[in-house]
Chain A
Amino acid sequence: MQTALLIEQLLNGVQFGVMLFLMAAGLTLIFGVMGLINLAHGSFFMVGAFACAAVAAATGSFWLGLAASLAAAAALGAIVEMTVIRRLYARDHLDQVLATFALILILSEGTRWLFGSFPLYLNIPPELGGAVELPGGVFYPVYRLAIIIAGLGVGVGLYFLIARTRLGMRIRAGESDREMIGALGVDIGTLYTVVFALGAALAGFAGAMVGALQSVQVGMGEPVLILAFVVIVIGGIGSIKGAFVGALLVGVTDTMGRVLLPPMLAAVIGPAQAAGIGAALASMSIYVVMALILAFRPQGLFSAQA
């Protein structure tokens, strides 16, 4: 196999991983700070993509759409937190699973009601069209490269937000002792709403960016949500660093598995069967990685509790 193809697929894996990181960062933050398992996170991904596609179609500008996706996902996140999620913090995980599962039904069906069952299409902004030549003679789409850079930028921003700002200090304090920071005069309710809206906005941002690569449709958030769960389980729930490492691991494993497994199997069992079995094994590969990691480190790679 040519090196150029391998590099291209590796970059695709990193791009996928970066997008998973945006989802996983919000999920792990919400779990770390509020102890809430949020199945509806994939719905914010979907809402972001729909908001971007609708606004971009109406105004002709992808950038306005991107801004709209952030605003829509954050606003919806804040509303959902204030009406429903806030009642679930004291409940057990079972109630949280069920309530957020109900939210998925509501948000998916509501989106279908608003936009219809047909997928929307979102074009790549013209500024980021075309391909760029990387060192080594590899041509790579500018837009995918932009996703990688934007995702890394968000990662760095998130690190500074949490490690260096007052809000980040409060978030970290909320993770370790919720009653104590309440006693110190921090308004926990508002803090939780802000964290939830921040997580929702990250998911909406990811949805908008990925929306230009695939069709924007109801249910698009669910496969990503489950992979994001795998990511935070691998990385250790509550850890942003773990989410980053886990996301890249899952993104690259998934993409490279699809590219490498079928030809490797073809050498052993013949090309006809290898195509089917290779595809089956490739889609299972990330779960195998997860099972292996958990068998040795049940709390994930970078457990926040440890």
Chain B
Amino acid sequence: MSREAAFNAALAILLLAVPLAAYALDEPFYVALATRIAILALAAAGLNLALGLGGLVSFGHAAFFGVGGYVAGILAVHAFNAEPLFGLLPASDQMPVVWLVAALLCAAVALPIGAISLRTSGVYFIMITLAFAQMIYYFAISWPAYGGEDGLSITVRNAFPGLSTANPAGFFVVCYVLLMAVLALIWRIANSRFGLALQAARQNEKRVAAVGIRPFRVRLAAFVISAVITGVAGALYADLNRFVSPSMMSWHMSGELIVLVILGGTGRLFGPVAGAILYVLLEFALGGVTERWQLFLGFILLGVVLFARGGIVGLVAGKVRHG
């Protein structure tokens, strides 16, 4: 077992064992904290697929996070009030249905955004994804039907068949299992022909084109899958907070997702998990000491970028070896 695999396994066990122990000791706050970690890790894992493997620095992933959140919120509200969607379709408050709708809607949004943005590269790509996310953000703010700027409250958390999601441990387990399933999927993707083509396109676009693979299509597919994962995480996040607002789509959120990926280690399978653990714990620890915690977070981030490249996983397991 390599050092990275051992570290990954330790993270996976820790993230499961600590909240369950906290639940047994009747400390629901820590369970909620761990749920937040798992959901943010899931969102960042989605971004990591585009950013880490594909080298596509999307500064607009908060849009997908927010779209997923609004799907969860809108479906929950409609199901609670027993109002059909668009006057036709019955709404469902079952999480698998919510996730499916969030995934489909995010794919439908990400496809045109990706198709236009991927015509460009480098700094243009960063700014265009940012601009598209802002477009959706302003749309959410000025669309009055679902709360506009004030956001939308979810009275009852969406349900999962056979489990009580109102119970913090039940909801945590749902999030944790989904996170692990998605990480397994990303691992499969990274080692598939598609994943290899994606990583190769990051390293040398011309050579990939020379062997007969169009980088554009591979990247577009990766961008859409990445958006779908982040969108499902957004649906969970809305359920966690029982609230969704345009701030989930703000560019601060996009920045935070990038921070999670880089803090953990860009392109590493468990990088987003390590990043989310560190970020949420830092926020919690600094927030307990001073209300100026963002100031210190800023200095820590700056230090990580300038002096500790490779993130946490890079620090523990060393550089990626290209075999």
Contacts and interface: CB of A to CB of B under 8 A. Distances in A.
A94 B57 contact: yes
B315 interface: no
A306 B304 CA distance: 36
Interface stretch (A135-143, A156-164, A184-192, A226-234): A226-234
B51 A105 contact: no
Contacts, number: 122
B316 interface: no
A173 to B, nearest CB: 21
A109 B298 contact: yes
A117 to B, nearest CB: 10
Interface string B247-289: 0000100010011001000100000000000000000000000
Contacts of A287: 131-132, 134-135
Contacts of A230: 127, 131
Interface stretch (A6-14, A69-77, A203-211, A289-297): A289-297
A283 interface: yes
A103 interface: yes
Contact of A294 (B120, B123, B262): B120
Contact of B294 (A94, A95, A97, A105): A105
A239 interface: no
B258 A233 contact: no
Contact of B138 (A280, A291, A298): A280
Contacts of A295: 116, 119
Given A229-B130, A284-B135, A98 B292 contact: no
A213 interface: no
Contact of B126 (A93, A276, A277): A93
Contact of A298 (B119, B266, B297): B119
Indicate the size class of the contact surface on chain A.
35 or more
Interface residues of B, number: 41
A101 interface: yes
A29 B255 CA distance: 23
Interface in A75-97: 84, 87, 93-95, 97
Nearest to A278: B142
B86 interface: no
A31 B126 CA distance: 13
Interface in A192-247: 222, 226, 229-230, 232-233, 237
Nearest to B119: A298
A289 to B, nearest CB: 10
A106 B120 CA distance: 31
Given A108-B294, A226-B130, A237-B123, A102 B301 contact: yes
Q: By CB atoms of chain B within 10 A, which of A87, A277, A283 has the most? A: A283
A47 to B, nearest CB: 15
A37 interface: yes
Contact of B258 (A31, A101, A283, A298): A101
Given A93-B57, A105-B297, A279-B142, A37 B262 contact: no
Contacts of B131: 226, 229-230, 233, 287, 290
A86 B67 CA distance: 38
Nearest to B138: A283
A37 B302 contact: no
A279 B141 CA distance: 10
A229 B127 contact: yes
Contacts of A233: 124, 127-128, 131
B298 A103 contact: yes
Contacts of A110: 295
Interface string B152-193: 000000000000000000000000000000000000000000
A285 B103 CA distance: 26
A105 B116 contact: no
24 contacts: A37-B126, A37-B127, A93-B122, A97-B255, A98-B259, A99-B306, A102-B299, A106-B295, A106-B298, A109-B294, A109-B295, A113-B292, A226-B131, A233-B127, A279-B142, A280-B138, A280-B139, A280-B142, A283-B139, A283-B142, A287-B132, A294-B116, A294-B119, A294-B120
Given A230-B127, A299-B120, 6 more contacts: A94-B262, A97-B126, A99-B305, A101-B301, A110-B295, A294-B119
